[in-house]
Amino acid sequence: MKKSAFLLIAVLLAAMGSAHAMTAAEKKPNFIVIIADDLGYADMSFLPQAPADVKKFKTPGFDRLASSGTYFANAYSTCPICSSSRAGIITGRYQQRWGNYWYGNGGLPLNEQTIPEALLKAGYTTAKYGKTHMNGGPKHLPTLHGFEEYLGYLKHTWDYIRLSEKDRDAVMSRKRLEGKPLTHMGSNVVGPLVSVNGLGASYDQIEEVSFEDGFITEVLTDKAVEFIKRDKGDKPFYLHVAHNAVHYPTFIVEESWAKKTGARYVPWDRDAEEWGYPYWEPNHGSSAKFLVKWGHMGEIDPEGRRCYLANLLALDHSVTRILDALEESGQRENTVVVLISDNGGTINTYANNTPLSGFKYMFGEGGIRIPMLVSMPGTIPQNQVNDKAIVSSMDLFPTFVDLAGQEIPANLDGKSLIPLVKGERDTQHEWLAWAMSRDSWVIRKGKWKLTNNVGWKHKDFDVLPNGDVAEAAEEYVYPNEPQLFNLDADIGETKNLIEQNPEIAKELRALYAEWDKQMPGPLTKKGEPVKHQIRPSQETQKKR
C-alpha cells in the first residue's frame, strides 16, 4: 500500500509539474498602450527625417522602443482630432459607424465593445491613466467601458502643473479678479483630476485627487510604474496610458528638461502677489507664416519649439521609465508595448510633421498619418521599419485579441498585425477612408489618395510683402475641389493629378461612396443622425 501511495503521489506531482509548464508556455502577453497627444510625425530621434533639434537632444525612450520593435511609417489614425480618433483606437472600428465624425456627439455607446472589455473576457486585468475625452457625459467614463481602475481627467486637455486643490483655487481667484474666462488660455484647471475604481463604477463614485507640486506627465507615469510593480503575475494585464503631452497649452516643464533644451523656465508660485501662467503662447504672426510657408513653427518661433521639446523629452522619459519597470519586474519579454499618437502633430504646439503636409484638424497627411511603434521581443520583429503596408490605429484591438488567443470579433474594421509582421502577407489594408462630415472626406488606396477637402476653414492672417502680419479680410479656405495625390512620388501632396488620372479618381470616389453608405451619418447634439447626400464635385455643380 505504501509503495502504491508513493507511486500515486509521484504521478500527481509529475502531472502538476506538467500542467505548470503548460501554463507557463501558454501564458498570455500583457499589453501596454502609450498614447501621445498631438505628437509630431518627425519628432523621434531614430527617424531619418527627425529635425536637427530632436537629433541633438535625442529621444532615448522612443529609440529604445524602436530598437526592440517595428515602426510603421504608413500608420493612420481614424480622424485628425483627438476625441474621434481615440474612439477608433479603443473600439477597433470606424467611429462613424455610430455617428461620431467630429468630436463625438453622444459619446461612446455602451454597446460598442472596447479593447479592455474584450480582454476582460480573456482573463485580463485592466487600468487606464490619463486622458479619456470620449464626450457624451456619463457614458464615456472608462469604468463603464471595461477599465477596472482609472485616474485622469475628463476634459480634452489639462494644465500640466496645477494638480492640487490649492492650485485650482488660486487660479480661479486670479481669473475672477482679472475678469478672465474660467477656461482662459486653454486651461481646464476649473475641473479636478479624478479617480474611480471598480468595473462598472459610475459618476457618483468618482473621487477628486490632488497632487502637490506635481507635473502631469510624471504623475501618470508614476501610476503606470506603480501598476506594473504591484502586478503579481497571476493574471495578464492591459494598461492604457494616455498622456497630455505634447498637447497645448505648452507649459514650461520642470527645470531639468527646460535646461536641456534651453527653454525659458519660470517657476510658478501660487502664493505670490504677482504671477502669470508659465506657458508659451503661439502668436498669430507665427501661425500665419507657418500657413503661408507650409513649414513648421519652430522655424519661426524657436522659443516655442524649445518649450515643445522640453515636454517631448518628459514624454520620452515616461517611455523609458515604463520599459525599466517592465524589465525590473521580469515582464518585458511577455509584454507588447505600443507608442502611438492620437492624431497628427499640431501647429500651436510646434510639432514637426516632416515630410508631410498639414497638421491636426486637416486631411493632409500631417493630420492623419501618425507615429506608431509596436514592440514585443520574440514576437514583433526588432529594429524594423515597415514603410510599405498601410496600417491603422484600429489594428491594435484585433492584434491584442489575436495574441491573447481569442477569436477576433467579426464586426471590427481593424486587422491583426500578426500575419503582417510574421511575413504571411505583405499588405494590411487595401484602402482606408476618413470623414469629418459628409461634405469633407478622404480615401487612400495603395499609393493613391483622393480627397475633396484637404484642409479646414478658419480665420487666417496674411503676411505682407514687407514681412508684417495683418489679419486677413476674409476667411481662408483650403482648396475643397477634388484632389488626387500619388503618395509614393509626392508625400508632401504638392501635385494634384486628378486631371491626368480621371479613372483612378472615379474608382476611389465610388469606393468611398460604398463606404459612406454603411455609415449612419453624423450625429446632432441631440444624438440624432444627420442624413444628406455626398456633396458633388465642383465640376458636377458647374454642369447643373
Predicted confidence at residue 168, as pLDDT, reads 76
Q: Are residues 193 and 215 in the same domain?
A: yes
From CA 169, how far away is CA 189, in angstroms rounded?
A: 9
Model pLDDT for residues 254-268, shown as the tens digit of each residue: 778 888 998 877 777
Q: Are residues 418 and 328 in the same domain?
A: yes
CATH of the domain at 484: 3.30.1120.10
Task: Indicate whether 398 belongs to any domain.
Answer: no
State CA 302 to chain mean position distance: 25
Asked if 34 and 69 touch (Cβ cutoff 8 Å), the reply is no
pTM of the model as a whole:
0.87
Task: Indicate whether 161 belongs to any domain.
Answer: yes
Q: Are residues 425 and 453 in the same domain?
A: no
The residue among 361, 396, 429 that closes a domain is 429
- Count how many domains the chain has: 2
| Residue range(s) defining the domain that contains residue 245 | 29-384+405-429
Q: Nearest Cα to 148, choosing from 131, 180, 123?
A: 123
Collect all residues with Cβ–Cβ distance below 8 Å to 513 and sequence separation of at least 6.
Answer: 534
Query: 461: helix, coil or strand?
Result: strand
Model pLDDT for residues 328-371, shown as the tens digit of each residue: 999 999 999 999 999 999 877 789 999 998 888 888 999 999 99
Q: Are residues 464 and 347 in the same domain?
A: no
Q: Are residues 409 and 483 in the same domain?
A: no
Q: Are residues 304 and 414 in the same domain?
A: yes
182 has a pLDDT exceeding 70: no
Task: Indicate whether 14 belongs to any domain.
Answer: no
Mean pLDDT, the chain, as a whole number?
82
Task: Indicate whether 399 belongs to any domain.
Answer: no
C-alpha cell read off for 393: 490605429
Q: Are residues 412 and 450 in the same domain?
A: no
Please state the rounded mean pLDDT for residues 222-235.
95
Q: Are residues 369 and 451 in the same domain?
A: no
Task: Indicate whether 198 belongs to any domain.
Answer: yes
Q: Are residues 375 and 492 in the same domain?
A: no
Q: What is the DSSP letter of 32?
A: E
Residue type, 329: S
The residue among 369, 397, 429 that closes a domain is 429
Q: Are residues 423 and 466 in the same domain?
A: no
Task: Indicate whether 397 belongs to any domain.
Answer: no
Report the first-to-last Cα separation within the chain, whole angstroms.
99
Instruction: Among 193-202, 288-297, 380-389, 402-411, name the one with the lowest average pLDDT.
Output: 288-297
C-alpha cell read off for 461: 492672417
Q: Are residues 122 and 240 in the same domain?
A: yes
Task: Indicate whether 391 belongs to any domain.
Answer: no
Q: Are residues 59 and 191 in the same domain?
A: yes
Task: Indicate whether 1 belongs to any domain.
Answer: no
